[in-house]
């Protein structure tokens, strides 16, 4: 083994070690955010850190450590599926949290959903009153 290759090896090892430690720190940041933040929506903000950036750093560290080209597509598949599925669960949790009033409204800087919800409730009320009128009072 020539000395240049071992220098490259050392550089790759160092980079992947940094990726591993930073990726683990993302998990710690999420835990600290879960413990310190006041309501559900700000905790959701902290919880996404290890799911996207942390997973990316750790998968990159795996690819750097194994030094084979064919693991990279598999790692990319794992990361892309994570990118596709995490917003789905975040959307559902955020929606349920908004609907069940699990948020501190005074901490919001703007609430664009409020107008939409008011409008939908208004149109639902109109719909039901029109139904009752056309039914002739039948239940």
Nearer to another protein, 8 or 32 (CB): 32
Q: Kindly report the backbone phi and psi dihedral angles of residue 98, in degrees, each rounded to the nearest multiple of 5, phi listed first.
A: -70, -45
* List 8, 11, 32, 120, residue binding another protein (CB under 8 A): 32
Dmax (CA) for the chain in angstroms is 93
Tokens of 5: 């290759």
Show the site string, 103-132: x = touches another protein by CB under 8 A, - = not.
Answer: ------------------------------
Rounded alpha-carbon distances, angstroms, from residue 89 to 7, 44, 138: 44, 11, 41
Rounded to an integer, what distance in angstroms lies between the CA atom of residue 35 and that of residue 99? 23
Strand, coil or helix: 108: coil
Query: Is the CA virtual torsion 118, 121, 127, 130 positive or negative?
Result: negative
Among 1-9, 50-58, 113-121, 130-138, the segment contacting another protein (CB under 8 A): 50-58
Examine residue 89 and tell whether it contacts another protein (CB under 8 A). yes
Count the neighbouring beta carbons within 10 Å of the beta carbon of residue 75: 18
Examine residue 12 and tell whether it contacts another protein (CB under 8 A). no
* List 100, 109, 110, 134, residue binding another protein (CB under 8 A): 100
Rounded to an integer, what distance in angstroms lies between the CA atom of residue 71 and that of residue 50? 21
Nearer to another protein, 77 or 126 (CB): 77
The residues binding another protein (CB under 8 A) are: 13-14, 16-17, 20-21, 23-28, 30-32, 34-35, 40, 43-44, 47, 50-51, 54-55, 58-59, 61-62, 64-66, 71, 74-75, 77-79, 81-82, 85-86, 88-89, 92-93, 95-97, 99-100, 102
């Amino acid at each position: 083994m020539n000395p240049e290759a071992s220098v490259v090896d050392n550089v790759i090892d160092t980079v992947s070690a940094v990726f591993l430690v930073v990726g683990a720190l993302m998990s710690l940041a999420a835990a600290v955010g879960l413990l310190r933040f006041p309501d559900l929506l700000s905790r959701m903000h902290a919880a996404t850190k290890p799911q996207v950036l942390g997973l990316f750093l750790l998968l990159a560290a795996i690819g750097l450590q194994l030094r084979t080209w064919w693991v990279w597509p598999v790692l990319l598949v794992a990361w892309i599926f994570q990118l596709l599925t995490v917003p789905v669960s975040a959307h559902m949790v955020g929606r349920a949290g908004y609907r069940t009033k699990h948020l501190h409204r005074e901490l919001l800087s703007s609430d664009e959903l409020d107008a939409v919800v008011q409008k939908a409730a208004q149109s639902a009320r109109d719909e039901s009153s029109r139904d009752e009128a056309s039914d002739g009072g039948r239940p």
